[in-house]
């Protein structure tokens, strides 16, 4: 079962992905986490993407697609992948479909966490206070939200046309959100087992 957790920054994708890892043994593939790890270990890639990430803009498709391909190869026996923060552009979505197809797999379900903008801004302001992530500052956050609206949200109709899109209320308490996600996963699993 391969699923995409979809939504703007701070919608709760990472929190929900971690619960699915703990409860179902899925592998979480967060390109944001991978890029942050590259930065903190000071790799060439990390140095290259640092400024772009801090500004709130997207790094190149080529970079994140390579990171995802590498991870898919590292976990051939995974019971499922949760794509968190990927794909974020049409080119990434196409590359993901192709990468999975080459491995005899596919995206089964895309779960959109719906949240409203003022609530998001409040979440980010709190996270900036708690964690001090440079790209959570208000200017960068605005750019991240813009990138989501302009480059990532256009993927929604594409996944809807494939009957893969489900929406969950991301404003509900964490446990209610995960219950709703579980329901979607059970439904997708049933469909997958019917072939």
Q: How many CA atoms lie within 13 A of 109 on its CB side?
A: 25
Span of 15-23, 54-62, 97-105, 171-179 interacting with ligand AMP by CB under 6 A: 54-62
Angle at 78 between CA 72 and CA 83, to 5 degrees: 55
Among 20, 27, 45, 64, binds ligand AMP (CB under 6 A): 64
The verdict on 155 binding ligand AMP (CB under 6 A) reads no
Helix axes 31-40 and 44-55, enclosed angle (nearest 10):
120
Would you call 177 helix, strand, or coil by DSSP? helix
Would you call 108 helix, strand, or coil by DSSP? coil
Among 12, 80, 85, 170, binds ligand AMP (CB under 6 A): 85
Among 11, 27, 58, 95, binds ligand AMP (CB under 6 A): 58
Q: Do 13 and 113 form a contact (C-beta atoms < 8 A)?
A: yes
The verdict on 52 binding ligand AMP (CB under 6 A) reads yes
H or E element, residue 109:
strand 109-114
Which residue, 143 or 189, is less far from ligand AMP as judged by CB? 143
Q: Which residue is nearest to ligand AMP (CB)?
A: 32
The verdict on 16 binding ligand AMP (CB under 6 A) reads no
Catalog residues that contact ligand AMP under the rule CB under 6 A. Answer: 9, 31-32, 35, 52-53, 56-59, 64, 85-86, 88, 92, 135, 144
């Amino acid at each position: 079962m391969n699923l995409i957790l979809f939504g703007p920054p701070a919608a709760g994708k990472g929190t929900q992905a971690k619960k699915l890892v703990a409860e179902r043994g899925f592998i979480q593939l967060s390109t944001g986490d991978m890029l942050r790890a590259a930065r903190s270990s000071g790799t060439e890639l990390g140095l290259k993407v640092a400024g772009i990430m801090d500004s709130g803009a997207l790094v190149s498709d080529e970079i994140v697609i390579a990171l995802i391909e590498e991870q898919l190869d590292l976990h051939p026996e995974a019971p499922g992948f949760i794509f968190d923060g990927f794909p974020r552009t049409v080119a990434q979505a196409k590359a993901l479909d192709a990468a999975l197809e080459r491995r005899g797999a596919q995206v089964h379900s895309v779960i959109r966490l719906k949240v409203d903008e003022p609530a998001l801004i409040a979440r980010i302001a709190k996270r900036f206070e708690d964690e001090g992530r440079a790209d959570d500052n208000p200017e960068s956050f605005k750019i991240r939200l813009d990138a989501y609206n302009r480059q990532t949200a256009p993927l929604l109709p594409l996944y809807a046309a494939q009957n893969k899109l489900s929406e969950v209320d991301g404003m509900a308490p964490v446990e209610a959100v995960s219950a709703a996600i579980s329901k979607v996963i059970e439904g997708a699993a049933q469909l997958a087992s019917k072939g």
